[in-house]
Amino acid sequence: MSAAQRHAVRQLLRIAPVVDELGERFTAAGQELALVGGSVRDALLDRLGQDLDFTTSARPEQTKRLLSGWAESVWDVGEAYGTIGASKAGFQIEVTTYRSDVYDRASRKPQVAYGETISDDLVRRDFTINAMALRLPSREFVDPHGGLPDLGRKVIRTPGTPETSFSDDPLRMMRAARFAAQLGFQVAPEVIDAMRRMADRLDIISAERIRDELTKLLLSDDPRAGLTLLVDTGLADRMLPELPALRLEIDEHHRHKDVYEHSLTVLEQAIELEDRLPDGGPDLTIRLAALLHDIGKPKTRKFEPGGGVSFHHHDVVGAKMARKRLTKLRFPSATVDAVSKLTELHLRFHGYGTGQWTDSAVRRYIRDAGDLLDHLHVLTRSDCTTRNPRKAKALQRSYDSLEERIEQLAEQEELQKIRPDLDGNQIMAILGLTPGPVVGRAYKHMLDIRMDRGPLSEEEATAELLKWWAEQPEAAG
């Protein structure tokens, strides 16, 4: 028995009570049942979690009846696609009827067709490593397409021709890149060739499905491998064109960093620093921000006299571009806002210089970052990819100094909760105003005062408000 098979046996013993009971239940009803796909693959890789996937000869309504009374809960959200879900003993279970789908080449969704055998089901799966099954309760291993050898070689191949598989579901091209990132596997040359030739087929896939696949890739252990494959095959041009656009030409007269490689390195360095974040990692917001923080550079690049290159305002331009792209990919608005803000703020630290920022400047840095301050710390530290050790250490010391000052100020003042020394009600009472735009302007002025000078007494704050009010045209009226 190979090491992989021994690992699988240990995993299967852990889930045996559930899978054996379920297998016997379906067999008694005259139906076939098999553990399938990612569950078998992960068992062989000794990484099986709590999600178990099964395939069956039973139709969805029959599956629902067989699960009812055995499972702790049953749901039919995926019934239209032949899938019934359930939970049992801490496991999340999905049982799907054998599929033999028919795809309309211009449609984003398959026309669901049920198969009659497990062979019908396995041949339609995306890759050979996901086209293995374990019949239950007999535990007969089924591997008609050589998934086990491919798993041993760490190779991603398709059960049939790549062209057929990708025509059926073009998202599988992105999935190949995701598995390369998640598993550390190599994609077979013929699969890569098909990805290059068929990249434009990705255009028929919904933004939501692309977003979900990109998210899984970014949250993997090695997103660089998957992203590189997306760029090299032209798939990124179809769904994240800002990434390949970072590959700016570099010549001997206009030397500057390779922005594309720099961005991938920043992503890797941000991943290494994720333990600094409140929830640890993996963290989608910081990974997206690290990848996209410089996407404004191609649009702002300017060749300066003397051979230099500048990218003025690429932070502001990049923030707008990030917002537009992530919105188009249907990312949640909170994620869009966070990544856009981090992109806009990622250069702010470089004004810190030799640590001569005033307390007011530090307060504004904290105020502008808000709840994303820890993310901004990670992004800024990750954005140092210089090969000059002395420069790298100087930047690190400078940022250490800024963080120390932030902590010191935070102890003195509740910086995360900075508010003016007078609230809206106090402003209206002092100036005799009713709610309206003038109160908003007064509030903003008092907030600026608070940022510049720190906390004031009520008497001092009132004096500042009255001084401001005396200069306003409304006061004269």
- Residue 251 pLDDT level (bands cut at 50, 70, 90): very low
Give yes or no: residues 146 and 5 share one domain: yes
Mean pLDDT of 426-431: 90
Give yes or no: residues 441 and 405 share one domain: no
DSSP secondary structure of 396-421? HHHHHHHHHHHHHHHHHS-GGG---S
Mean pLDDT of 191-207: 96
Mean pLDDT of 294-321: 84
Specify the CATH number for the domain of residue 29.
3.30.460.10
DSSP secondary structure of 168-200? H-THHHHHHHHHHHHH-PEEPHHHHHHHHHTGG
Whether residue 390 has pLDDT greater than 70? yes
Count of domains for the chain: 4
Give yes or no: residues 98 and 184 share one domain: no
Give me the pLDDT at residue 308, please. Answer: 75
Domain boundary among 131, 153, 175: 153
Give yes or no: residues 432 and 459 share one domain: yes
Specify the CATH number for the domain of residue 210.
1.10.110.30
Out of 16-20, 356-360, 374-378, the most confident range is 374-378
Mean pLDDT of the chain: 88
Mean pLDDT of 83-99: 94
Domain boundary among 153, 184, 218: 153
Mean pLDDT of 276-299: 92
Give yes or no: residues 272 and 400 share one domain: yes
Out of 74-78, 260-264, 295-299, 383-387, the most confident range is 260-264
Domain boundary among 401, 417, 433: 417
Judge whether 286 and 381 are in contact, CB under 8 Å: no
Give yes or no: residues 57 and 130 share one domain: yes
- Residue 414 pLDDT level (bands cut at 50, 70, 90): low
Whether residue 11 has pLDDT greater than 50? yes
Give me the pLDDT at residue 99, please. Answer: 84
Give me the pLDDT at residue 88, please. Answer: 94
Residue 93 tokens, joined: 């279970």
Residue 226 tokens, joined: 């998957």
Give yes or no: residues 287 and 384 share one domain: yes
Whether residue 89 has pLDDT greater than 60? yes
Give me the pLDDT at residue 266, please. Answer: 95
Out of 98-112, 317-331, 356-370, the most confident range is 317-331
Give yes or no: residues 407 and 454 share one domain: no
Q: Is the dihedral of CA 273, 279, 282, 286 positive or negative?
A: negative
Give yes or no: residues 406 and 267 share one domain: yes
Q: Residue 34 is part of which domain span?
A: 1-153
Q: Which residue has the higher pLDDT, 400 or 86?
A: 86
Give me the pLDDT at residue 253, please. Answer: 42
Q: Which has the closest alpha carbon to 165: 236, 92, 110, 234?
A: 110
| % of the chain surpassing 70 pLDDT | 90
Report the predicted TM-score, pTM, of the whole model to 2 decimal places: 0.81
Whether residue 250 has pLDDT greater than 80? no
Give yes or no: residues 148 and 8 share one domain: yes
DSSP secondary structure of 56-123? ESS-HHHHHHHHTTTSSEEE-TTGGGTEEEEEETTEEEEEEE-B--EE-TT-SSEE--B-SSHHHHHH
Whether residue 108 has pLDDT greater than 60? no
Give yes or no: residues 142 and 165 share one domain: no
Whether residue 207 has pLDDT greater than 90? yes
Give yes or no: residues 448 and 353 share one domain: no
